[in-house]
Amino acid sequence: MSPLQIENLRRRLLAPESLVTGPEIHEDYAHDATDHTGTPECLLIAETTDDVVAALKFCHRERIPVTPRGTGTGLSGGCVASPGALLLSTEKLKSIEIDPTLKVAFCGPGDITKELQDAALAHGLAYPPDPASYEECSMGGNIAENAGGLRCKRFGVTRDYVIGLEAVLMDGSLIRTGVLNKNRGFSLGDVIVGSEGTLAVVTRIAVRLIDQPGPGDTILVAFKRQRDAAQTVTDITRAGIIPSVMEFLDGDAAACANEYEKTEGLDEAAALLLLETSDIDRELQTERIKQICEKNDCSYLRTESDAERADNLWKVRRNMTYAAKDQAELRISEDVAVPNSQFPLLVEFVSELNRRSGLRINSYGHAGDGNLHVNFMAPKDTPEAREETERHIRTLMQKTIELGGTLSGEHGIGLAKRPYLSLEFDSHTLRAMHNVKSVFDPNNLLNSDKIFPTEK
Protein backbone atom coordinates (compact mmCIF):
# COMPACT_ATOMS: atom_id res chain seq x y z
CA MET A 1 0.00 0.00 0.00
CA SER A 2 1.35 3.42 -0.87
CA PRO A 3 1.63 6.11 1.85
CA LEU A 4 -1.22 7.95 0.11
CA GLN A 5 -3.45 4.87 0.16
CA ILE A 6 -2.67 4.35 3.86
CA GLU A 7 -3.63 7.94 4.63
CA ASN A 8 -6.80 7.69 2.54
CA LEU A 9 -7.83 4.53 4.34
CA ARG A 10 -7.03 6.05 7.74
CA ARG A 11 -9.31 8.99 6.97
CA ARG A 12 -12.24 6.64 6.35
CA LEU A 13 -11.97 4.89 9.72
CA LEU A 14 -13.96 5.70 12.87
CA ALA A 15 -10.88 4.61 14.85
CA PRO A 16 -7.92 5.82 12.73
CA GLU A 17 -5.43 4.76 15.41
CA SER A 18 -6.42 1.12 14.82
CA LEU A 19 -4.45 1.18 11.56
CA VAL A 20 -0.77 0.42 12.15
CA THR A 21 2.04 0.22 9.64
CA GLY A 22 5.63 -0.92 9.15
CA PRO A 23 7.76 -1.33 12.30
CA GLU A 24 4.78 -0.44 14.56
CA ILE A 25 3.33 -3.88 13.73
CA HIS A 26 4.15 -6.46 16.39
CA GLU A 27 6.12 -9.49 15.19
CA ASP A 28 3.25 -11.81 16.31
CA TYR A 29 1.19 -10.64 13.34
CA ALA A 30 3.73 -12.09 10.89
CA HIS A 31 2.74 -15.72 11.47
CA ASP A 32 0.22 -18.14 12.94
CA ALA A 33 1.10 -21.30 14.91
CA THR A 34 2.92 -22.76 11.88
CA ASP A 35 6.22 -21.56 10.50
CA HIS A 36 4.56 -19.87 7.50
CA THR A 37 5.45 -16.19 7.69
CA GLY A 38 4.54 -12.97 5.92
CA THR A 39 5.19 -9.54 7.41
CA PRO A 40 2.19 -7.30 6.71
CA GLU A 41 2.84 -3.75 5.52
CA CYS A 42 -0.35 -2.53 7.08
CA LEU A 43 -2.51 -3.91 9.91
CA LEU A 44 -6.03 -2.88 10.87
CA ILE A 45 -7.18 -4.12 14.27
CA ALA A 46 -10.81 -3.24 13.62
CA GLU A 47 -12.84 -1.94 16.54
CA THR A 48 -16.21 -1.76 14.79
CA THR A 49 -18.04 -3.47 11.95
CA ASP A 50 -18.29 -0.07 10.29
CA ASP A 51 -14.50 0.03 10.05
CA VAL A 52 -14.44 -3.47 8.52
CA VAL A 53 -16.95 -2.24 5.92
CA ALA A 54 -14.96 0.95 5.25
CA ALA A 55 -11.66 -0.92 4.92
CA LEU A 56 -13.01 -3.56 2.55
CA LYS A 57 -14.83 -1.02 0.40
CA PHE A 58 -11.64 1.02 0.11
CA CYS A 59 -9.39 -1.99 -0.60
CA HIS A 60 -11.86 -3.28 -3.19
CA ARG A 61 -11.82 0.02 -5.02
CA GLU A 62 -8.02 0.28 -4.85
CA ARG A 63 -7.55 -3.44 -5.66
CA ILE A 64 -5.59 -4.03 -2.46
CA PRO A 65 -5.60 -7.64 -1.19
CA VAL A 66 -6.91 -8.31 2.33
CA THR A 67 -6.21 -11.16 4.74
CA PRO A 68 -8.59 -11.64 7.69
CA ARG A 69 -7.09 -12.70 11.00
CA GLY A 70 -8.40 -13.89 14.36
CA THR A 71 -5.92 -14.62 17.15
CA GLY A 72 -3.36 -16.40 14.98
CA THR A 73 -3.52 -19.92 16.44
CA GLY A 74 -4.21 -21.45 13.03
CA LEU A 75 -2.26 -24.50 11.92
CA SER A 76 -2.30 -24.04 8.15
CA GLY A 77 -0.92 -20.52 7.58
CA GLY A 78 -4.44 -19.22 6.78
CA CYS A 79 -4.11 -15.83 8.50
CA VAL A 80 -0.61 -15.06 7.25
CA ALA A 81 -0.85 -11.81 5.24
CA SER A 82 -0.94 -12.29 1.46
CA PRO A 83 1.81 -10.35 -0.35
CA GLY A 84 0.99 -6.62 -0.31
CA ALA A 85 -2.20 -7.23 1.70
CA LEU A 86 -3.90 -5.28 4.44
CA LEU A 87 -4.02 -7.65 7.42
CA LEU A 88 -7.47 -7.23 8.97
CA SER A 89 -7.71 -8.49 12.53
CA THR A 90 -11.17 -9.02 14.07
CA GLU A 91 -9.75 -9.82 17.52
CA LYS A 92 -11.35 -6.71 19.11
CA LEU A 93 -14.87 -7.38 17.80
CA LYS A 94 -16.17 -8.90 21.01
CA SER A 95 -19.74 -8.97 22.32
CA ILE A 96 -21.23 -12.06 23.95
CA GLU A 97 -24.98 -12.22 24.60
CA ILE A 98 -26.74 -15.35 25.80
CA ASP A 99 -30.44 -15.98 25.33
CA PRO A 100 -31.05 -18.78 27.86
CA THR A 101 -34.68 -19.21 26.87
CA LEU A 102 -33.95 -19.83 23.21
CA LYS A 103 -30.61 -21.48 24.07
CA VAL A 104 -28.81 -19.27 21.59
CA ALA A 105 -25.62 -17.20 21.90
CA PHE A 106 -24.57 -14.18 19.86
CA CYS A 107 -20.94 -13.17 19.81
CA GLY A 108 -18.33 -11.26 17.89
CA PRO A 109 -15.58 -12.92 15.83
CA GLY A 110 -13.01 -11.74 18.39
CA ASP A 111 -14.56 -13.58 21.33
CA ILE A 112 -12.35 -16.42 22.50
CA THR A 113 -13.99 -19.86 22.36
CA LYS A 114 -13.54 -20.36 26.11
CA GLU A 115 -15.13 -16.97 26.85
CA LEU A 116 -18.23 -18.09 24.97
CA GLN A 117 -18.21 -21.48 26.72
CA ASP A 118 -17.91 -19.78 30.14
CA ALA A 119 -20.72 -17.33 29.36
CA ALA A 120 -22.98 -20.24 28.31
CA LEU A 121 -22.03 -22.22 31.40
CA ALA A 122 -23.16 -19.36 33.64
CA HIS A 123 -26.69 -20.18 32.38
CA GLY A 124 -26.26 -23.97 32.74
CA LEU A 125 -25.73 -24.22 28.98
CA ALA A 126 -22.84 -25.41 26.82
CA TYR A 127 -21.19 -24.48 23.54
CA PRO A 128 -19.62 -27.87 22.81
CA PRO A 129 -16.99 -27.36 20.03
CA ASP A 130 -13.70 -27.43 21.93
CA PRO A 131 -10.53 -27.09 19.89
CA ALA A 132 -7.51 -27.86 22.10
CA SER A 133 -6.61 -24.17 21.59
CA TYR A 134 -9.96 -23.06 23.09
CA GLU A 135 -8.33 -20.68 25.58
CA GLU A 136 -6.65 -18.69 22.78
CA CYS A 137 -8.50 -19.09 19.49
CA SER A 138 -11.25 -16.74 18.32
CA MET A 139 -14.77 -17.58 17.22
CA GLY A 140 -14.09 -15.90 13.86
CA GLY A 141 -11.17 -18.28 13.32
CA ASN A 142 -13.33 -21.22 14.46
CA ILE A 143 -15.99 -20.34 11.89
CA ALA A 144 -13.43 -19.85 9.11
CA GLU A 145 -11.73 -23.19 9.85
CA ASN A 146 -14.87 -25.08 10.92
CA ALA A 147 -12.87 -25.99 14.01
CA GLY A 148 -13.35 -29.40 15.58
CA GLY A 149 -12.15 -30.55 18.93
CA LEU A 150 -11.85 -33.31 21.43
CA ARG A 151 -15.58 -33.82 21.92
CA CYS A 152 -16.50 -33.71 18.23
CA LYS A 153 -17.39 -37.42 17.96
CA ARG A 154 -20.26 -37.00 20.36
CA PHE A 155 -21.17 -33.34 19.93
CA GLY A 156 -20.07 -32.37 16.40
CA VAL A 157 -17.96 -29.48 15.11
CA THR A 158 -18.41 -25.71 14.73
CA ARG A 159 -20.63 -26.04 11.64
CA ASP A 160 -23.17 -28.04 13.65
CA TYR A 161 -23.79 -25.06 15.97
CA VAL A 162 -23.72 -22.02 13.67
CA ILE A 163 -27.25 -20.73 13.05
CA GLY A 164 -26.53 -17.27 11.72
CA LEU A 165 -23.73 -15.03 10.51
CA GLU A 166 -23.18 -11.40 9.69
CA ALA A 167 -20.31 -10.95 7.25
CA VAL A 168 -18.78 -8.28 5.06
CA LEU A 169 -17.97 -9.13 1.46
CA MET A 170 -14.84 -7.87 -0.25
CA ASP A 171 -16.73 -4.99 -1.90
CA GLY A 172 -17.84 -3.77 1.52
CA SER A 173 -21.42 -5.03 1.38
CA LEU A 174 -22.76 -6.47 4.61
CA ILE A 175 -24.81 -9.66 4.49
CA ARG A 176 -26.75 -11.55 7.15
CA THR A 177 -27.63 -15.23 7.12
CA GLY A 178 -29.73 -17.70 9.14
CA VAL A 179 -31.39 -16.36 12.29
CA LEU A 180 -29.73 -12.98 11.70
CA ASN A 181 -31.79 -12.84 8.50
CA LYS A 182 -35.00 -14.44 9.81
CA ASN A 183 -33.83 -17.72 8.22
CA ARG A 184 -34.80 -16.47 4.77
CA GLY A 185 -33.14 -17.26 1.46
CA PHE A 186 -30.09 -19.34 0.56
CA SER A 187 -28.02 -20.94 3.32
CA LEU A 188 -25.07 -18.67 2.61
CA GLY A 189 -23.71 -19.18 6.12
CA ASP A 190 -23.04 -22.83 5.29
CA VAL A 191 -20.70 -21.77 2.49
CA ILE A 192 -18.88 -19.24 4.67
CA VAL A 193 -18.23 -21.74 7.49
CA GLY A 194 -14.95 -23.47 6.61
CA SER A 195 -14.09 -21.05 3.79
CA GLU A 196 -10.90 -19.95 5.58
CA GLY A 197 -11.40 -16.21 5.19
CA THR A 198 -11.58 -16.40 1.40
CA LEU A 199 -15.26 -15.45 0.94
CA ALA A 200 -16.13 -12.85 3.58
CA VAL A 201 -15.03 -11.31 6.87
CA VAL A 202 -17.31 -12.56 9.64
CA THR A 203 -18.41 -9.79 12.02
CA ARG A 204 -21.19 -11.41 14.08
CA ILE A 205 -22.04 -14.99 14.95
CA ALA A 206 -25.14 -16.76 16.28
CA VAL A 207 -24.74 -20.29 17.64
CA ARG A 208 -27.10 -22.73 19.28
CA LEU A 209 -26.33 -23.99 22.77
CA ILE A 210 -27.19 -27.23 24.52
CA ASP A 211 -27.92 -28.09 28.13
CA GLN A 212 -24.65 -28.45 29.98
CA PRO A 213 -23.88 -32.18 30.01
CA GLY A 214 -22.95 -33.69 33.36
CA PRO A 215 -19.38 -34.80 33.98
CA GLY A 216 -18.11 -38.13 32.72
CA ASP A 217 -15.23 -40.26 34.00
CA THR A 218 -11.77 -39.77 32.52
CA ILE A 219 -9.92 -42.97 31.63
CA LEU A 220 -6.22 -43.11 30.73
CA VAL A 221 -5.17 -46.44 29.20
CA ALA A 222 -1.70 -47.53 28.07
CA PHE A 223 -0.94 -50.46 25.79
CA LYS A 224 2.27 -52.40 25.12
CA ARG A 225 1.30 -52.90 21.47
CA GLN A 226 -0.10 -50.18 19.24
CA ARG A 227 -2.45 -52.52 17.43
CA ASP A 228 -4.17 -53.34 20.76
CA ALA A 229 -5.01 -49.66 21.22
CA ALA A 230 -6.33 -49.44 17.66
CA GLN A 231 -8.38 -52.62 18.22
CA THR A 232 -9.82 -51.09 21.40
CA VAL A 233 -11.01 -48.05 19.44
CA THR A 234 -12.68 -50.36 16.91
CA ASP A 235 -14.25 -52.53 19.63
CA ILE A 236 -15.61 -49.53 21.55
CA THR A 237 -17.16 -48.15 18.37
CA ARG A 238 -18.58 -51.55 17.35
CA ALA A 239 -20.12 -51.96 20.80
CA GLY A 240 -22.14 -48.80 20.08
CA ILE A 241 -20.45 -46.88 22.89
CA ILE A 242 -20.09 -43.15 22.18
CA PRO A 243 -17.76 -41.62 24.76
CA SER A 244 -17.65 -37.81 24.88
CA VAL A 245 -13.95 -37.95 24.01
CA MET A 246 -11.68 -40.69 22.68
CA GLU A 247 -8.13 -39.52 21.99
CA PHE A 248 -5.29 -41.66 20.67
CA LEU A 249 -1.53 -41.06 21.09
CA ASP A 250 1.03 -43.37 19.50
CA GLY A 251 4.02 -44.56 21.56
CA ASP A 252 6.34 -41.80 20.40
CA ALA A 253 3.71 -39.08 20.99
CA ALA A 254 3.18 -40.49 24.51
CA ALA A 255 6.96 -40.43 25.11
CA CYS A 256 7.13 -36.87 23.77
CA ALA A 257 4.35 -35.71 26.15
CA ASN A 258 5.99 -37.60 29.02
CA GLU A 259 9.37 -35.97 28.35
CA TYR A 260 7.65 -32.57 28.53
CA GLU A 261 5.70 -33.30 31.73
CA LYS A 262 5.90 -36.63 33.49
CA THR A 263 2.67 -38.60 33.97
CA GLU A 264 2.35 -41.89 35.82
CA GLY A 265 1.84 -44.99 33.65
CA LEU A 266 3.26 -43.61 30.41
CA ASP A 267 6.77 -45.13 30.56
CA GLU A 268 7.19 -47.64 27.79
CA ALA A 269 3.64 -47.23 26.49
CA ALA A 270 3.41 -48.21 22.82
CA ALA A 271 0.12 -46.32 22.55
CA LEU A 272 -2.32 -44.46 24.77
CA LEU A 273 -6.04 -43.84 24.80
CA LEU A 274 -7.59 -41.01 26.77
CA LEU A 275 -11.35 -41.18 27.10
CA GLU A 276 -14.10 -39.24 28.77
CA THR A 277 -17.25 -41.25 29.19
CA SER A 278 -20.63 -39.78 28.51
CA ASP A 279 -22.67 -38.47 31.44
CA ILE A 280 -25.51 -40.69 30.25
CA ASP A 281 -25.02 -44.18 31.73
CA ARG A 282 -21.67 -42.97 33.04
CA GLU A 283 -20.94 -45.94 35.32
CA LEU A 284 -22.11 -48.55 32.85
CA GLN A 285 -20.08 -46.96 30.04
CA THR A 286 -16.96 -46.75 32.21
CA GLU A 287 -17.32 -50.42 33.14
CA ARG A 288 -17.81 -51.57 29.54
CA ILE A 289 -14.83 -49.51 28.30
CA LYS A 290 -12.64 -50.96 31.06
CA GLN A 291 -13.66 -54.50 30.07
CA ILE A 292 -12.80 -53.84 26.41
CA CYS A 293 -9.41 -52.34 27.35
CA GLU A 294 -8.59 -55.31 29.58
CA LYS A 295 -9.66 -57.79 26.90
CA ASN A 296 -7.21 -56.01 24.56
CA ASP A 297 -4.36 -56.46 27.04
CA CYS A 298 -3.89 -52.90 28.29
CA SER A 299 -0.83 -52.45 30.49
CA TYR A 300 -2.10 -49.53 32.61
CA LEU A 301 -5.57 -48.17 33.27
CA ARG A 302 -6.56 -45.29 35.52
CA THR A 303 -10.02 -43.83 36.02
CA GLU A 304 -10.63 -40.38 37.50
CA SER A 305 -14.00 -38.93 38.48
CA ASP A 306 -12.58 -35.94 40.33
CA ALA A 307 -12.51 -32.97 37.92
CA GLU A 308 -9.14 -31.60 39.05
CA ARG A 309 -7.34 -34.95 38.93
CA ALA A 310 -8.98 -35.73 35.57
CA ASP A 311 -7.74 -32.40 34.25
CA ASN A 312 -4.19 -33.48 35.12
CA LEU A 313 -4.58 -36.53 32.90
CA TRP A 314 -5.83 -34.37 30.01
CA LYS A 315 -2.57 -32.43 30.16
CA VAL A 316 -0.95 -35.37 28.37
CA ARG A 317 -3.06 -34.56 25.32
CA ARG A 318 -3.22 -30.80 25.67
CA ASN A 319 0.58 -30.55 26.03
CA MET A 320 1.22 -32.40 22.78
CA THR A 321 1.70 -29.36 20.51
CA TYR A 322 3.93 -27.62 23.07
CA ALA A 323 5.88 -30.82 23.82
CA ALA A 324 6.65 -31.34 20.14
CA LYS A 325 7.69 -27.70 19.71
CA ASP A 326 9.90 -27.93 22.79
CA GLN A 327 11.80 -30.92 21.50
CA ALA A 328 12.50 -30.10 17.88
CA GLU A 329 13.77 -27.05 16.05
CA LEU A 330 11.88 -28.19 12.96
CA ARG A 331 8.34 -29.34 13.58
CA ILE A 332 5.64 -29.55 10.96
CA SER A 333 2.26 -30.86 11.99
CA GLU A 334 -0.25 -32.32 9.55
CA ASP A 335 -3.84 -33.20 10.23
CA VAL A 336 -5.55 -35.81 8.14
CA ALA A 337 -8.66 -37.91 8.67
CA VAL A 338 -9.79 -41.32 7.46
CA PRO A 339 -12.96 -43.37 7.94
CA ASN A 340 -12.95 -44.98 11.38
CA SER A 341 -12.39 -48.46 10.02
CA GLN A 342 -9.11 -47.33 8.40
CA PHE A 343 -7.74 -45.57 11.49
CA PRO A 344 -5.57 -48.56 12.61
CA LEU A 345 -4.01 -48.75 9.12
CA LEU A 346 -3.17 -45.05 9.09
CA VAL A 347 -1.66 -45.19 12.56
CA GLU A 348 0.46 -48.19 11.59
CA PHE A 349 1.56 -46.42 8.42
CA VAL A 350 2.83 -43.44 10.45
CA SER A 351 4.75 -45.72 12.83
CA GLU A 352 6.35 -47.44 9.85
CA LEU A 353 7.34 -44.02 8.43
CA ASN A 354 8.91 -43.22 11.80
CA ARG A 355 10.89 -46.47 11.79
CA ARG A 356 12.21 -45.88 8.26
CA SER A 357 12.91 -42.15 8.56
CA GLY A 358 15.76 -40.08 9.97
CA LEU A 359 13.07 -37.76 11.36
CA ARG A 360 11.00 -38.20 14.48
CA ILE A 361 7.43 -38.80 13.30
CA ASN A 362 4.57 -39.37 15.70
CA SER A 363 0.80 -39.20 15.68
CA TYR A 364 -2.11 -38.39 17.94
CA GLY A 365 -5.68 -37.30 17.45
CA HIS A 366 -9.39 -37.76 17.76
CA ALA A 367 -9.68 -41.55 17.35
CA GLY A 368 -13.45 -41.26 17.67
CA ASP A 369 -13.79 -39.62 14.26
CA GLY A 370 -10.66 -40.82 12.46
CA ASN A 371 -8.78 -37.51 12.74
CA LEU A 372 -5.01 -37.98 13.15
CA HIS A 373 -2.42 -35.23 13.72
CA VAL A 374 1.03 -36.22 12.49
CA ASN A 375 4.17 -34.45 13.72
CA PHE A 376 7.32 -34.41 11.61
CA MET A 377 10.22 -33.35 13.81
CA ALA A 378 13.97 -32.82 13.44
CA PRO A 379 16.42 -31.51 16.07
CA LYS A 380 17.83 -28.98 13.56
CA ASP A 381 15.99 -27.03 10.88
CA THR A 382 18.18 -27.90 7.88
CA PRO A 383 17.34 -27.95 4.15
CA GLU A 384 17.87 -31.74 4.21
CA ALA A 385 15.40 -32.19 7.10
CA ARG A 386 12.85 -29.98 5.29
CA GLU A 387 13.30 -31.93 2.08
CA GLU A 388 12.76 -35.24 3.88
CA THR A 389 9.71 -33.82 5.70
CA GLU A 390 8.15 -32.66 2.41
CA ARG A 391 8.71 -36.10 0.90
CA HIS A 392 7.08 -37.88 3.85
CA ILE A 393 4.15 -35.43 3.96
CA ARG A 394 3.37 -36.18 0.33
CA THR A 395 3.47 -39.94 1.09
CA LEU A 396 1.15 -39.39 4.07
CA MET A 397 -1.28 -37.41 1.90
CA GLN A 398 -1.26 -40.13 -0.76
CA LYS A 399 -1.87 -42.86 1.82
CA THR A 400 -4.70 -40.86 3.38
CA ILE A 401 -6.47 -40.51 0.03
CA GLU A 402 -5.87 -44.22 -0.71
CA LEU A 403 -7.62 -45.05 2.59
CA GLY A 404 -10.63 -42.95 1.57
CA GLY A 405 -9.68 -40.03 3.82
CA THR A 406 -9.27 -36.28 3.59
CA LEU A 407 -6.17 -34.03 3.71
CA SER A 408 -7.55 -31.74 6.37
CA GLY A 409 -9.35 -33.11 9.42
CA GLU A 410 -9.90 -29.73 11.05
CA HIS A 411 -7.00 -27.32 10.49
CA GLY A 412 -7.89 -26.17 7.00
CA ILE A 413 -5.90 -25.99 3.77
CA GLY A 414 -4.49 -22.45 4.03
CA LEU A 415 -0.98 -22.21 2.67
CA ALA A 416 0.19 -25.48 4.18
CA LYS A 417 -1.87 -27.95 2.18
CA ARG A 418 -2.49 -25.95 -0.96
CA PRO A 419 0.09 -27.92 -2.97
CA TYR A 420 -1.74 -31.19 -2.24
CA LEU A 421 -5.31 -30.11 -2.96
CA SER A 422 -5.45 -31.73 -6.37
CA LEU A 423 -4.66 -35.11 -4.76
CA GLU A 424 -8.08 -34.98 -3.12
CA PHE A 425 -10.34 -33.02 -5.44
CA ASP A 426 -10.93 -33.57 -9.14
CA SER A 427 -10.81 -30.61 -11.50
CA HIS A 428 -14.63 -30.29 -11.63
CA THR A 429 -14.91 -29.95 -7.86
CA LEU A 430 -12.01 -27.51 -7.73
CA ARG A 431 -13.61 -25.44 -10.49
CA ALA A 432 -16.93 -25.38 -8.63
CA MET A 433 -15.17 -24.09 -5.50
CA HIS A 434 -13.35 -21.50 -7.59
CA ASN A 435 -16.62 -20.36 -9.12
CA VAL A 436 -18.14 -19.87 -5.66
CA LYS A 437 -15.09 -17.81 -4.69
CA SER A 438 -15.55 -15.65 -7.81
CA VAL A 439 -19.16 -14.89 -6.91
CA PHE A 440 -18.18 -13.61 -3.46
CA ASP A 441 -14.93 -11.97 -4.51
CA PRO A 442 -14.76 -11.45 -8.31
CA ASN A 443 -11.37 -9.71 -8.19
CA ASN A 444 -9.78 -12.41 -6.04
CA LEU A 445 -8.59 -10.04 -3.33
CA LEU A 446 -9.70 -11.74 -0.12
CA ASN A 447 -7.07 -14.14 1.25
CA SER A 448 -6.41 -14.92 -2.37
CA ASP A 449 -3.24 -16.98 -1.94
CA LYS A 450 -4.93 -19.53 0.37
CA ILE A 451 -6.61 -22.90 -0.33
CA PHE A 452 -6.46 -22.94 -4.14
CA PRO A 453 -3.33 -24.26 -5.86
CA THR A 454 -1.67 -21.55 -7.95
CA GLU A 455 -1.91 -23.68 -11.09
CA LYS A 456 -5.65 -24.03 -11.79
Q: Is 144 in the site for ligand FAD (CB under 6 A)?
A: yes
Contacts of 78 (CB under 8 A, 6+ apart): 32, 144, 145, 196, 197, 412, 413, 414, 415, 447, 450
Q: Is 137 in the site for ligand FAD (CB under 6 A)?
A: yes
| Number of neighbouring beta carbons within 10 Å of residue 38 | 20
Distance of closest approach, residue 352 Cβ to ligand FAD, in angstroms? 25
Residue closer to ligand FAD by CB (options 296, 420) is: 420
The Cα–Cα gap between 53 and 335 comes to: 34
C-alpha Rg value of the chain to the nearest Å? 22
Contact 149, 157 (CB under 8 A): yes
Distance of closest approach, residue 91 Cβ to ligand FAD, in angstroms? 8
Distance of closest approach, residue 74 Cβ to ligand FAD, in angstroms? 3
The Cα–Cα gap between 393 and 370 comes to: 18
DSSP code of residue 20: E
Q: Is 276 in the site for ligand FAD (CB under 6 A)?
A: no
Q: SS3 of 343, please? A: helix
Q: Is 392 in the site for ligand FAD (CB under 6 A)?
A: no
Binding mask 102-121 for ligand FAD (x = CB under 6 A): -------x------------
Distance of closest approach, residue 228 Cβ to ligand FAD, in angstroms? 25
Residue closer to ligand FAD by CB (options 165, 271) is: 165
Q: SS3 of 210, please? A: strand
Q: Residue 365 — φ and ψ, nearest 5°?
A: 165, -170
Residue closer to ligand FAD by CB (options 1, 75) is: 75
Considering only the stretches 226-234, 246-254, 309-317, 408-416, report the one whose residues sit in contact with ligand FAD under the rule CB under 6 A: 408-416
Distance of closest approach, residue 454 Cβ to ligand FAD, in angstroms? 17
Q: Is 447 in the site for ligand FAD (CB under 6 A)?
A: yes
Contact 33, 335 (CB under 8 A): no
Distance of closest approach, residue 297 Cβ to ligand FAD, in angstroms? 29
Q: Is 232 in the site for ligand FAD (CB under 6 A)?
A: no
Binding mask 280-319 for ligand FAD (x = CB under 6 A): ----------------------------------------
The Cα–Cα gap between 414 and 408 comes to: 10
Distance of closest approach, residue 414 Cβ to ligand FAD, in angstroms? 6
Q: With CB under 6 A, what is the number of residues at the site for ligand FAD?
A: 37
Residue closer to ligand FAD by CB (options 286, 375) is: 375
The Cα–Cα gap between 150 and 128 comes to: 10
Residue nearest to ligand FAD (CB): 141
Taking the CA atoms of residue 174, residue 178, residue 179 and residue 183 in that order, the dihedral angle to the nearest 10 degrees is: 110
Q: Is 82 in the site for ligand FAD (CB under 6 A)?
A: no
Q: Is 194 in the site for ligand FAD (CB under 6 A)?
A: no
**What is the CB-side half-sphere exposure of residue 321 using CA atoms within 13 A?**
14
Among 196, 369, 441, 449, binds ligand FAD (CB under 6 A): 196
Binding mask 312-331 for ligand FAD (x = CB under 6 A): ---------x----------
How wide is the angle at C-alpha 408 spanned by C-alphas 130 and 258, nearest 5°? 60
Q: Is 72 in the site for ligand FAD (CB under 6 A)?
A: yes
The Cα–Cα gap between 164 and 205 comes to: 6
The Cα–Cα gap between 401 and 397 comes to: 6
Q: SS3 of 146, please? A: coil
Among 75, 209, 310, 338, binds ligand FAD (CB under 6 A): 75
Q: SS3 of 51, please? A: helix
Among 170, 202, 255, 403, binds ligand FAD (CB under 6 A): 202
Among 38, 40, 68, 189, binds ligand FAD (CB under 6 A): 68
Among 9, 79, 81, 330, binds ligand FAD (CB under 6 A): 79
Considering only the stretches 251-259, 270-278, 345-353, 407-415, report the one whose residues sit in contact with ligand FAD under the rule CB under 6 A: 407-415
Considering only the stretches 8-16, 69-77, 120-128, 356-364, report the one whose residues sit in contact with ligand FAD under the rule CB under 6 A: 69-77
Q: Residue 20 — φ and ψ, nearest 5°?
A: -120, 150
Q: Is 197 in the site for ligand FAD (CB under 6 A)?
A: yes
Contact 373, 334 (CB under 8 A): yes
Bridge partners of residue 37, in order along the sequence = 31
* Sheet (strand 86-89) strand order: 19-21, 42-45, 86-89, 66-69
How wide is the angle at C-alpha 36 spanned by C-alphas 172 and 375, nearest 5°? 125
Residue closer to ligand FAD by CB (options 146, 296) is: 146
Kindly list the residues in this chain that would bind ligand FAD in the complex (CB under 6 A). Answer: 32-33, 67-75, 78-79, 90, 109, 131-133, 137-138, 140-142, 144-145, 147-149, 196-197, 201-202, 321, 410-411, 414, 447
